Chains A and B, each alone.
Chain A
């Protein structure tokens, strides 16, 4: 133990150093004792064991006591990610998911006060892993699972009704509710999502869990679930919340640029016609107006259009 960070008049480290060591050791991927050896090897501490900081007794050594916290740390976060990404976990299986999370927490330890945000960089991390060579579509599936979480508790908004849209007529300026996002997928993952959702709904044992504890306290990992590889194709996908239910659907080529424009800054109806003609999606203004009318009807039905002037509380 260096003199830095020691409490006055004691061999114990001060509060800051205690907490830093505690964190280093419970976040060590192999457990407290290997973590301690790594700290010693790197010259960050020279004590042989943890008795200078933690009291042991006839039941448990200091390292064993700290290991209780190390286990709770890892399993709580792993289980939280398994709850956020049940379909990714189902495809790769419990053991691979466990290892993936181990690496993920080393690269992206939680820095937010809420566990809700632990999965923010998960899809990007997944895309960078060897696992993505075998499952190249997995990062897109993770993005879909995450976007659905984001939409679940996004800000509320008043939705424009058909009657209100009719009153506004061609002067209507379209803005979308906050609980709307568009994901530019490279893989068509919606059918896999639907298949796994159906499987989970018909599995009374909660089949998408990544692991379960057996009677003898050994962890039994769920086996990987076999799914057909999806098509590799650009598949812009809309994810949104209507009421309290979250939905997603693949966007056709005519709808995608229009909805993206509405999502960016809001859009007036004539601008939508120009987008359609400029992108050569429609040959003339009349055809474009017909398409815009159809799109607007769908967006109103889906509850995507925010009432003008609405300010979130």
Chain B
């Protein structure tokens, strides 16, 4: 397999959700691409697949999964990977991503993104599985940092160290979820800027932006709000460090009208363009 390379900057996208199917198909939009939840379209037929193929005629599609369970100690699910590959081939996905997490054990599936202990044992395990998944899919994948609500006594590495080593050793990309960095930084009291600064520049393929909820003792990653100010601030830092990386606004609950979601994506574009333009200014220019 060819070595991982940072994908082209395809601009700003949003998640393709059924609430917006009719709007997206009826007229041009001001977003550049769509991200799908892979599993929602890994079906035999019917309306969702038809919609997806019609959207694909006009936009690049990025596939984002929730069931890879890369950190589980159960065997990899080959049926799942076969179906994932078929869908990726069919939509000519710009890239395929999932989460640094596990979703079940003993044959059970929780359908949640469960946290990993950041131990040497887990590191070996994840690196080996990412390599096998990439072979099976015939392409490099990107892994997203999850939001988390607990840390394990067994962890000997920080999350960012773990993610960076996985990416280097398995030769995969990183989907840097800026909201997740912020949520976890509050929940576990770490410095989100230092987290970002320890992620290798060339490994970040995509950013996620989203909103969260404040539950007092912790923040919960709910994707049901506009992007809040601290996440915008962190995004500015991310763009400064990682450059013009494709950026997606996630909004999965209390989904707003299309115009509101589109405006949030346009705001991300404005923020990113301003920082990238400033970086390109020759020294001494005013």
Interface of A with B (CB < 8 Å)?
A: 7, 10-16, 18-20, 22-23, 26-27, 51-55, 57, 59-60, 62, 64-66, 68-69, 72-73, 76-77, 80, 109-116, 118, 152-157, 178-179, 241, 244, 312
Q: Report B-chain residues with C-beta under 8 Å of the C-beta of A55.
A: 150-153
**Chain B: interface size category:** 35 or more
Q: Report B-chain residues with C-beta under 8 Å of the C-beta of A12.
A: 117, 119, 152-154
By beta carbon, the residue of chain A nearest B83 is A113
What 4 A-B pairs come out closest when comparing CB atoms?
A156-B45, A12-B154, A65-B150, A153-B43
Within the assembled complex, what's the spacing in Å between the Cα atoms of A64 and B149? 10
**Which listed residue, B106, B152, B189, touches A54 by the CB 8 Å rule?**
B152
By beta carbon, the residue of chain B nearest A13 is B154
Interface of B with A (CB < 8 Å)?
A: 39, 42-50, 67, 69, 72-73, 77, 80, 102-112, 114, 117, 119, 121-122, 125, 149-154, 189, 217-218, 220
Asked whether, in the complex, the Cβ of A51 is within 8 Å of the Cβ of B121, the reply is: no
Asked whether, in the complex, the Cβ of A110 is within 8 Å of the Cβ of B150, the reply is: no
Within the assembled complex, what's the spacing in Å between the Cα atoms of A80 and B47? 19
**Which listed residue, B104, B121, B189, B217, touches A14 by the CB 8 Å rule?**
B121
The smallest beta-carbon distance between B146 and chain A, in angstroms, is 11
Asked whether, in the complex, the Cβ of B150 is within 8 Å of the Cβ of A178, the reply is: no
Within the assembled complex, what's the spacing in Å between the Cα atoms of A47 and B264? 48
By secondary structure, the B interface counts as loop
**Which listed residue, B39, B108, B121, touches A7 by the CB 8 Å rule?**
B121
Asked whether, in the complex, the Cβ of B114 is within 8 Å of the Cβ of A22, the reply is: yes
Asked whether, in the complex, the Cβ of B46 is within 8 Å of the Cβ of A154, the reply is: yes
Q: Report A-chain residues with C-beta under 8 Å of the C-beta of B152.
A: 12, 18, 53-55
By beta carbon, the residue of chain B nearest A217 is B215
Apart from A109-B109, A153-B47, list 7 A-B contacts with CB within 8 A.
A12-B154, A14-B121, A15-B125, A53-B153, A55-B152, A111-B109, A113-B109
Asked whether, in the complex, the Cβ of B46 is within 8 Å of the Cβ of A60, the reply is: no
Asked whether, in the complex, the Cβ of A52 is within 8 Å of the Cβ of B153, the reply is: yes
The smallest beta-carbon distance between A267 and chain B, in angstroms, is 23
Within the assembled complex, what's the spacing in Å between the Cα atoms of A112 and B47? 22
Within the assembled complex, what's the spacing in Å between the Cα atoms of A53 and B116? 12
Most buried by A among B103, B114, B125, B189: B114
Asked whether, in the complex, the Cβ of A66 is within 8 Å of the Cβ of B154, the reply is: no
Within the assembled complex, what's the spacing in Å between the Cα atoms of A178 and B108? 29
Asked whether, in the complex, the Cβ of A18 is within 8 Å of the Cβ of B114, the reply is: no
Q: Report B-chain residues with C-beta under 8 Å of the C-beta of A54.
A: 150-153
Asked whether, in the complex, the Cβ of A76 is within 8 Å of the Cβ of B112, the reply is: yes
Given A110-B111, A111-B109, A113-B80, are A153 and B149 also a contact pair (CB < 8 Å)?
no
Q: Report A-chain residues with C-beta under 8 Å of the C-beta of B154.
A: 7, 10, 12-13, 18, 53
Asked whether, in the complex, the Cβ of A7 is within 8 Å of the Cβ of B149, the reply is: no
Given A51-B153, A52-B153, are A60 and B110 also a contact pair (CB < 8 Å)?
no
Asked whether, in the complex, the Cβ of A69 is within 8 Å of the Cβ of B114, the reply is: yes
By beta carbon, the residue of chain A nearest B151 is A55
**Which listed residue, B42, B43, B105, B220, touches A20 by the CB 8 Å rule?**
B105
By beta carbon, the residue of chain A nearest B221 is A72
Within the assembled complex, what's the spacing in Å between the Cα atoms of A155 and B49? 10
Q: Report B-chain residues with C-beta under 8 Å of the C-beta of A62.
A: 150
Given A15-B117, A15-B125, A19-B102, are A65 and B45 also a contact pair (CB < 8 Å)?
no
Given A69-B114, A76-B111, A77-B111, are A113 and B106 also a contact pair (CB < 8 Å)?
no
**Which listed residue, B47, B67, B80, touches A152 by the CB 8 Å rule?**
B47
By beta carbon, the residue of chain B nearest A8 is B121
By beta carbon, the residue of chain B nearest A72 is B112
The smallest beta-carbon distance between A29 and chain B, in angstroms, is 14
Given A16-B73, A244-B47, are A69 and B149 also a contact pair (CB < 8 Å)?
yes
Q: Report B-chain residues with C-beta under 8 Å of the C-beta of A178.
A: 44-45
Within the assembled complex, what's the spacing in Å between the Cα atoms of A19 and B152? 11
Asked whether, in the complex, the Cβ of B119 is within 8 Å of the Cβ of A20, the reply is: no
Within the assembled complex, what's the spacing in Å between the Cα atoms of A85 and B270? 43
Given A54-B150, A113-B39, are A154 and B112 also a contact pair (CB < 8 Å)?
no
Within the assembled complex, what's the spacing in Å between the Cα atoms of A68 and B119? 22
Q: Report A-chain residues with C-beta under 8 Å of the C-beta of B151.
A: 54-55
Q: Report A-chain residues with C-beta under 8 Å of the C-beta of B117.
A: 12, 15, 18
Most buried by A among B46, B122, B125, B189: B46
By beta carbon, the residue of chain A nearest B153 is A12
Within the assembled complex, what's the spacing in Å between the Cα atoms of A282 and B76? 56
Q: Report A-chain residues with C-beta under 8 Å of the C-beta of B125.
A: 15
The smallest beta-carbon distance between B84 and chain A, in angstroms, is 9
Asked whether, in the complex, the Cβ of A111 is within 8 Å of the Cβ of B42, the reply is: no
Q: Report B-chain residues with C-beta under 8 Å of the C-beta of A153.
A: 43-49
Within the assembled complex, what's the spacing in Å between the Cα atoms of A22 and B152? 11
By beta carbon, the residue of chain A nearest B67 is A113
